Structure 1
Amino acid sequence: MQQDTIEISGFHAHVYFDTTSRDVAERVREGLGERFEVRLGRWHDKLIGPHPKAMYQVAFLPNQFEKVVPWLMLNREGLDILIHPETGDDVKDHTEHALWLGEKLELNIGFLQQIGKT
Structure 2
Amino acid sequence: MTIHPDAVQDSPITFEAFKLHLDSTGDKDRRLYVIHAHVYFPYSTEADREKAHKFQAAIKARFADERGVRVGTIAPQAGGPHPMPQFETSFTKLHLVDVLPWLMFNRPEAFSILVHPFTAKVVEDHDSSAVWLGKQLQCHLGPLQKFQQHVATEIKAGKDEAAILWPFV
Q: 1:27 and 1:66 mapped to 2: Cα distance?
A: 23
Name the amino acid aligned to 1:14: H
Give the Å deviation of 1:87.
1.8
Give the Å deviation of 1:24.
2.0
Within the alignment, does 1:40 sit opposite 2:71 as a pair? yes
Give 3-state SS (helix, strand or coil) of 2:73's partner.
strand
- Which of residues 42, 63, 81 is equivalent to 1:18? 42
Instruction: Indicate the residue corresponding to 2:92 in structure 1.
Output: 61
Instruction: Indicate the residue corresponding to 1:8 in structure 2.
Output: 32
Q: Quick check: which one's strand share is greater? A: 1
Say which is worse superposed, 35-44 or 48-57, in terms of deviation: 35-44
- Which of residues 80, 83, 104 is equivalent to 2:112? 80
Within the alignment, does 1:104 sit opposite 2:136 as a pair? yes
Give the Å deviation of 1:111.
1.6
Q: 1:55 and 1:109 mapped to 2: Cα distance?
A: 16
Q: 2:73 and 2:37 mapped to 1: Cα distance?
A: 13
TM-score (norm 2): 0.63
Say which is worse superposed, 101-110 or 22-31, in terms of deviation: 22-31
Give the Å deviation of 1:117.
2.0
Unmatched 5+ residue regions in structure 2? 1-23, 26-30, 151-169
Name the amino acid aligned to 2:54: R
Give the Å deviation of 1:13.
0.7
Give the Å deviation of 1:98.
0.5
Instruction: Indicate the residue corresponding to 1:31 in structure 2.
Output: 58
Say which is worse superposed, 49-58 or 16-25, in terms of deviation: 16-25
Q: 2:132 and 2:102 mapped to 1: Cα distance?
A: 14
Q: 1:61 and 1:28 mapped to 2: Cα distance?
A: 20
Give 3-state SS (helix, strand or coil) of 1:82's partner.
strand
Aligned residues: 114
Q: 1:58 and 1:13 mapped to 2: Cα distance?
A: 5
CA deviation profile, 1:71-101 (whole Å, cap 9, x unmatched): 0000001110101111211001101111100
